[in-house]
Structure 1
Amino acid sequence: MADISQIKEHAEVIGADGVHVGTVDKVEGDRIKLTKKDSGAEVEGADNPHAGHHHYISTGLVADVEGDTVRLSANADVAVTFEEEEGGQPL
């Protein structure tokens, strides 16, 4: 498992396929809070009607942290289906 403590604010979150998923706002518990600007990011194959507010990704999806990049274990189009809203509800 990746060292979650190495995740930096404003790091890029990418899928296993290298496609941009979001930008880290901060880590809260076992979830990565993504910046609002990426909540409306268009990822090919993803339908995202919940734009304009923070989304969260489980740290359990983190495969690697290297510098300013967080790589997930799932491709971007799959990873966004695991995003949650603030209260933990799936999108």
Structure 2
Amino acid sequence: MADSIKKNVANAGNAVANAAKDVGSRIATGAEDAVDFVKEKTGMSGPDGGTDRGVSAIEDHMEVIASCGKKVGVVDHVEGNAIKLTKNDSRDGQHHFVPISWVSRVDRHVHLTKNSKETEENWKADAASCAR
């Protein structure tokens, strides 16, 4: 019986430690987002401001912003070397794809190296086309 109690206490301790790690990670991400938001809204970040998290941080539903500052879409999901944009935000009601290579940085948004005109003229109809 004592072994069972020790095991339960150890399991509870591990659960608390894992929960604390998760909460700490969420707080750090939230703090980073808050700093980026303030920098963006106050103009303190400059054109390349924000904490670049890299393309691996691209998440569904992030806004995709062209280099000129215009929103060109919302991430549906990442598919291979391409970002699939939602069709809800598309003027023609179709999914469009932009190559990962067009990404300049990722913070609260996905920022592209191309302006909105270049992006809309050159986005692809499928993910396979982005590999070329």
TM-score where L is the length of structure 2: 0.54
How many Å apart are 1:39 and its aligned residue?
2.0
How many Å apart are 1:79 and its aligned residue?
1.2
| Larger RCO of the pair (alpha carbons < 8 Å, separation 6+) | 1
| Among 88, 101, 124, the residue aligned to 1:60 | 101
2:54 corresponds in structure 1 to 3
| Among 38, 44, 50, the residue aligned to 2:89 | 38
Whether 1:16 and 2:67 are equivalent positions in the alignment is yes
How many Å apart are 1:86 and its aligned residue?
2.4
- The sequence identity of aligned pairs, in percent, is 37
CA RMSD of aligned residues (A): 1.8
Q: Deviations over 1:43-70 (max 9, x none)?
A: xxxxxxxx12211000100001002x01
Structure 2 residue ranges without an equivalent (≥5): 1-52
1:81 corresponds in structure 2 to 121
Give the structure with the larger strand fraction.
1
**What SS does the corresponding residue of 2:95 show, helix, strand or coil?**
coil
Distance 1:9 1:64, change over 3 A: same
Higher Cα Rg: structure 1 or 2?
2
Q: In 2, Cα distance between the equivalents of 1:20 and 1:7?
A: 16
Q: Is the 8 A contact 2:81 2:100 kept in 1?
A: yes
**What SS does the corresponding residue of 1:22 show, helix, strand or coil?**
strand
Moved over 4 A (4+): 87-90
TM-score where L is the length of structure 1: 0.77
Q: Is the 8 A contact 2:79 2:127 kept in 1?
A: no
Q: Is the 8 A contact 2:82 2:100 kept in 1?
A: yes
In the comparison of the two structures, how many residue pairs are matched?
Answer: 78
How many Å apart are 1:16 and its aligned residue?
0.7
